[in-house]
A and B are shown apart, each in its own frame.
Chain A
């Protein structure tokens, strides 16, 4: 099939997705086109409709959802021709999925899985070896099964499978979200290289602005199931023409400096059909006027190759975004006075593991200090936190919290254990599993208050909700139906109910959208000063650790590689591992 240079390989016009059962609309008026050799990133927070967009494009919507609109793939109109679409899928059009741990069949050898996608005459060992080499793997990987491979290798195999049918169009749905930062950087580099070499049209779906701008020529910003803004990546990044894009970019914490307040977007993403007939962003927008709530704003040209769905795009273009204030780097308070938490020589080896999860870690948190622990999965950072609060039993070493020393917190006498747990609390990563689905918010908080020796009455619960920025009527609701950000606020309220002296946050903002992440980071910083708590902040995200901590420990494979003032470690790392971590943060394309 020969296609003219200018004719796009993917052309989607007026895409609309609705639910057949109740007639609800989930997505409207999404249009985009990608030419051969070009790449487009579809960016949006959860609920924006980015996954729905590609699934509708490929005819892979879940049962019960119906798509309308015109889709042309490789010059063939497919929106009304499921048969043609089936013929294209897996060959001309290929999809790379998010989770490298589930996308491969665990029982089949890698080579066989790649061969499945190859043309019938090409299923030879030599061809499979060539395909593996293309994604940077050696030929012997073909004989291995997925469980013998690391996450990064599996995603490379996933890519090789996606490329097996020699597609001209590659679509990747959050391809690196489940990977560690250093692995993510490698896989992103690989995808970009292969895409250029093969001259494929490439669509990348991501929630991560850094990844989007580092990977693609163009971006499409989705908000509440509608196009907010489109344009060349560099131009959109430099001067967004939609307030949502601008706010989203501002909410992304910078790696190179600390802000006094991270500009967050108030509220949460509304459902698409809750904001029909008006601008979906109006309720969260500082620029919003009457015109924004009167009719749906259509995407209009806003500069060369750009569109914006903001009726006040020219106002936006005329005003420079407010530069967020840079905070003075904190004075490191290490060594002054007695430590609140002192960990020495902590060792933990899980049964059957080849190496210890913690291989003798020393760590110290002073009263009121904010300390970060940075590391990738398997570094031992979570095991460390769990040992402190007694969810895990260390094999050796000592923990001293506020004058009480222990190895296994569960082995302490009841009274002392209660005293420690009143002083140290933890906020978990996943706000969905950390709240009991059958208990109302009020019951959860009342119980936490009573456990801390308070009466847990309505007034106290209301005060606690107010402290974390929630309205008192939330108390009667179950967690179902609450957004991730709201849930995480409840989880924080539960943790601070007894006014702990140390709050451990284990990846507490990693599962949240960028705009919400900024809200929660600001909340944690406020609580830290108003309750004079110390923070032990565990994360894989270096930009986040820069914003919220004074000192940082870098962990890898159960060892502490480096520690010191956060600014110093991030600006001039001495350990090669820290340097590798910093180098793996995606950089926007020039």
Chain B
């Protein structure tokens, strides 16, 4: 196997660190939200590598604890939209005709809606909340996934192996799931990676607007929003969560690209 380049290696390290924080953040920094009002807001210094915010909370600890909601939420969005996209795109691409027309007009309709605006409205009307934000994003992301999957299926459908399967008189369901789907999986996965980065930023935006995670919770978007007024007292309180979002999103994109290239190479080496 070819070794990943330096950019990919760095991205993989970033993702490993983020993943650890997301999964074990509660264990690593159990008292992340502990306030120390006597300290108040401080610049980075001994004991507080990134300083504290105005409630005296350690910014680094908040960052580690905040990975969980930010990253797992984005993961839920990309997984959920990939699942929905596959369930719609696979039959649309394989069966064609009316099923395809229906699915694609639905996708067109959904894509004509400004995503983040809808999320803001829905979350605002229904009172916000973390899981509602995730659900809204899944619904908004799914049409793009359905289109990508459909496109990949269309490319496979005309291959002789699919026709050979049809000559075995196999059911459409079996051909779709057992024959076509494994061949489009690399495309779907690569797309899920890109969605993850997008979902990370979108969820943070919603939290920033106060529509995702409850105020005061450790979440990158939320922390950024909470601390945006303290840019002069301790810039790191706002900049650090922002950087975390950007770096993680970039790392996921780099790794996603790398995986797609690898899948492509394997396909060509066939």
Residues of B within 8 A of A422 (CB): 169
* Known contacts A439-B179, A480-B270; is-contact A448 B160 (Cβ 8 Å): no
> Which single residue of chain B is at the shortest CB-CB distance from A436?
B161
A428 touches B170 (CB 8 A): no
Contact of A421 among B160, B168, B183, B267 (CB under 8 A): B168
Complex A-B: 14 CB contacts under 8 Å: A391-B163, A418-B169, A421-B168, A428-B163, A430-B160, A432-B270, A434-B161, A434-B164, A436-B179, A438-B182, A451-B169, A480-B270, A491-B164, A495-B167
CA gap between A448 and B164 in the complex, in Å? 10
- Tell me whether B98 is interfacial, beta carbon within 8 Å: no
Q: Does B166 contact A (CB under 8 A)?
A: yes
Contacts of A426 in B (CB 8 A): 164, 167
Contact of A428 with B160 at beta-carbon distance under 8 Å, contacts A436-B183, A437-B267, A438-B182 already known: yes
A interface residue numbers (CB < 8 A to B): 389-391, 417-418, 421-422, 425-426, 428-430, 432-439, 447-448, 451, 479-480, 491, 494-495
* Chain B at the A interface: SS class: helix
Kindly list 10 other residue pairs between chains A and B, CB separation below 8 angstroms, not including A437-B267, A494-B168.
Answer: A391-B167, A425-B167, A429-B160, A432-B270, A433-B160, A434-B159, A434-B163, A436-B165, A436-B183, A437-B161
Tell which of B159, B161, B168, B269 touches A448, judged by Cβ atoms closer than 8 Å: B168
Contact partners of A448 in chain B: CB under 8 A: 168
Closest to A426 in B: B167
Are B161 and A433 in contact, with the CB atoms below 8 A? yes
- Given contacts A439-B179, A480-B269, whether A434 and B169 have CB atoms under 8 Å apart is no
Contact B163 A435 (CB under 8 A): no
Determine the residue in chain B with the shortest Cβ distance to A452. B168
Residues of A near B161 (CB, < 8 A) are 433-437
Closest chain-B Cβ to A32's Cβ sits at a distance in Å of 31
Q: When the two chains form their complex, are residues A438 and B168 in contact, meaning their CB atoms are under 8 A apart?
A: no
A421 and B270: CB pair below 8 A? no
Residues on the B chain within 8 Å of A437, using CB: 161, 183, 267, 270
Q: Which 6 A-B pairs have the closest CB atoms?
A: A434-B160, A451-B168, A428-B160, A438-B182, A436-B161, A433-B160
Closest chain A residue, CB of each to CB of B156: A436
CA distance A435 to B164 in the complex (A): 8
Given A436-B183, A437-B183, A439-B179: A447 in contact with B168 (beta carbons within 8 A)? yes
With contacts A437-B270, A447-B170 taken as known, whether A494 is within 8 angstroms of B183 at the C-beta atoms is: no
Given A437-B270, A480-B269, are A421 and B167 neighbors across the interface (CB < 8 Å)? yes
**A480–B269 alpha-carbon span in the complex (Å):** 8
What residues of chain A lie closer than 8 Å to B269, measured between beta carbons? 480
Cα-based distance from A389 to B267 in the complex (angstroms)? 29
Contacts of B163 in A (CB 8 A): 391, 428, 434
C-alpha spacing A389/B182, complex, angstroms:
26
- Per the bound structure, the CA–CA distance linking A426 and B163 in Å amounts to 10
Task: Give complex CA distance A370, B156 in Å.
Answer: 32
Measured CA separation A422–B168 after assembly (Å): 8
Q: Are B164 and A421 in contact (CB under 8 A)?
A: no
Complex CA distance for A421 and B165, rounded to whole angstroms: 11
Which residues of B, 154-196, contact A by the 8 Å Cβ criterion? Answer: 159-161, 163-170, 178-179, 182-183
| Neighbouring A residues of B166 by C-beta, 8 Å | 390-391
- Known interface pairs A428-B160, A428-B164, A433-B161. Does A438 touch B169 (Cβ–Cβ under 8 Å)? no
